[in-house]
Amino acid sequence: MTKIFDDPAQFADDALDGFVAANRKYVARVDGGVVRSTETPEGQVAVVIGGGSGHYPAFAGLVGAGLAAGSACGNMFASPSAGQVYRVAKASQTGGGVLLSYGNYAGDVLHFGQAQEKLNAEGIETRTVLVTDDIASAPLEEIGKRRGIAGDLTVFKVAGAAAEAGLDLDEVERLAIKANHHTRSLGVAFAGCTLPGASEPLFTVPEGMMSVGLGIHGEPGISDLPLPSASELAKLLVDGLLKDKPETAGRRLVPILNGLGTVKYDELFLLFGKIEALLTAAGLEIVEPECGELVTSLDMSGLSLTLFWLDAELEKFWAAPADTPAFRKGNLAPRRARAVESLAEAATTPGLAATPASTALAATAVGVLKEARSVVVEHEEALGKLDAIAGDGDHGIGMRRGVDAAVAAAEKSHAGGAGLEEVLAAAGEQWAERAGGTSGALWGAAVTAVGRTLGSKDAYTAADAAAAVNALRDAIVTLGKAEAGDKTMVDALLPFAETFTKAIDDGGSLAGSLRAAAEAAAEAADATAGLSPRKGRARPLAEKSLGHPDPGAVSFGLIARRVAEYAATIESH
């Protein structure tokens, strides 16, 4: 359990500030994360990494010469927002283009993807390489669905060394893809981790048992086994990884034994000795191994083994010098400090023309957001527990962060005289910015889409309301790419939109149509208990998810019901 903090909600930011204070010769703070505090040659490719906080040394500890140019740092176990990624990339790049690299998680894919689009639109050529090393998260034939765990390090290191060598973006991207293809990892956990301020861990492991196939965000393992001896554990890890080795694998490889938070170095060293013996007995040659904490998960008791299969090209870049706060190889010439300019968080486009009707409806929108916040606060803990069954347990916390920020932004915008579109644009931007994760991106896009669709009119009709609901639906479906039956928020969203539109078309009142739509959404959310997840962090743990509804669908249903109740009170007055 995390014991040292002031405000749990500020833990990630406070920790990052302290990290920078302790490592100023390497990094500087920018809005959204950290970048190198030293000069980088003009035209060098900027390798920008990132993810949620709670994994140190990943990701901020890997920023420095020969490795990453910058790291976008999200909240605890939550992906950084698109804005954070964009601002870190802008502060990192020196004209050679940007390579974004991160673990393959839905929220990261959404936010980094949006940042990539924005950077490319501005003429900053940007590519992405996902890390997919975790063999427990998907079978070999679905390798593209695998998530990224401690194998992040090999991909980041090779890409960073290639950039340091002056290679262009095409080559840096190619080598990062190659490194990912040659990397395999498998993890185990002995006890779960606890988020700052939480009273219970995200998951527990039965006494005398070990969970195999854990995720680094507190996702439980895919199976539980009796706690093995060190020799048995080494064999389980090595055998599992050797069965999954790349077709192009040679004899030389880098083993990386990674502690996840509370496994002591003495234990890691003991286990590494067993692993080395097994690999040597298999006729393999060990090259520059790593043993220690490299990608952690707060206070999780667990570890992972990564095997990075080398050829001459990959070995050259793995062995190349690097100098970062948490990872050092060889020697690099000292770099001069640079003045770091941080982009401020961009304000939503101000001054959109607003009619009296738009300004009045903006007040209603603020009320709707407050009602959404109320129901999220009421169910925050329950949503987190539901998410922890097969995910990382942060859905309640993430929704709370997002809706709190949305309400604050909407109130500020409305107090300044803004109309509906501007108020909801501010709210949507801040929901995505502060919540992070998949839900933050989706709710942020949805709120913004509603405002854009309703715009500024002299009067609003029931048809406008139907158009707004359909815009909300389209924004979530288009961005998240989920379909009915995937066990996501979309399973509650689609019947909500369909029921509402039909009710309005049939001449129903706004409140009555919302009530019918909300009931349809709530029923559909409950029905997701019988579905097996096909997207998101719960997908590798489909069996554990069965019998429990999807937290994203449940939170959507809760908000829909509360908004319908609020609409009824407005209509009655």
Residue 445, SS3 per DSSP:
helix
Is 4 in contact with 56 (CB distance < 8 Å)?
no
Is 145 in contact with 138 (CB distance < 8 Å)?
yes
**Alpha carbon distance 47, 68 (integer Å):** 5
Structure tokens at 529: 């208990």
Q: Among all chains, which residue has been given the structure tokens 């709530």?
A: 522
**Alpha carbon distance 201, 515 (integer Å):** 37
Structure tokens at 25: 């010769």
CB atoms within 10 A of CB 68: 33
Tell me the CA distances in angstroms from 52 to 11, 23, 263, 297, 350, one per residue in order. Answer: 12, 20, 21, 10, 30
DSSP letters along 508-533, please?
--HHHHHHHHHHHHHHHHHHGGG---
Catalytic residue among 55, 182, 217, 548: 217
Q: Among all chains, which residue has been given the structure tokens 């919540």?
A: 435
Q: 185's torsion region: left (phi>0), alpha (psi -120 to 50) or beta?
A: beta
User: Could you confirm whether 395 is annotated as catalytic?
Assistant: no
Name residue 276's amino acid: E
**Alpha carbon distance 23, 568 (integer Å):** 55
The β-bridge partners of 130 are 102
Is 266 in contact with 225 (CB distance < 8 Å)?
no
Is 229 in contact with 220 (CB distance < 8 Å)?
no
Specify the length of the chain in residues: 573
Name the burial class of residue 113, with classes exposed (0-12), middle (13-18) and buried (19+) by CB atoms within 10 angstroms of its CB. middle
**Alpha carbon distance 149, 103 (integer Å):** 7
Is 170 in contact with 127 (CB distance < 8 Å)?
no
The β-bridge partners of 261 are 300
DSSP letters along 112-152, please?
HHHHHHHHHHTT--EEEEEE--BTTSS-GGGGGGPPPSTTH
Max alpha carbon distance in the chain (Å)? 80
**Alpha carbon distance 27, 100 (integer Å):** 18
The β-bridge partners of 255 are 307
Q: Among all chains, which residue has been given the structure tokens 């938070």?
A: 261
**Alpha carbon distance 21, 205 (integer Å):** 36
Is 260 in contact with 189 (CB distance < 8 Å)?
yes
**Alpha carbon distance 58, 148 (integer Å):** 12
Which residue numbers are catalytic? 217
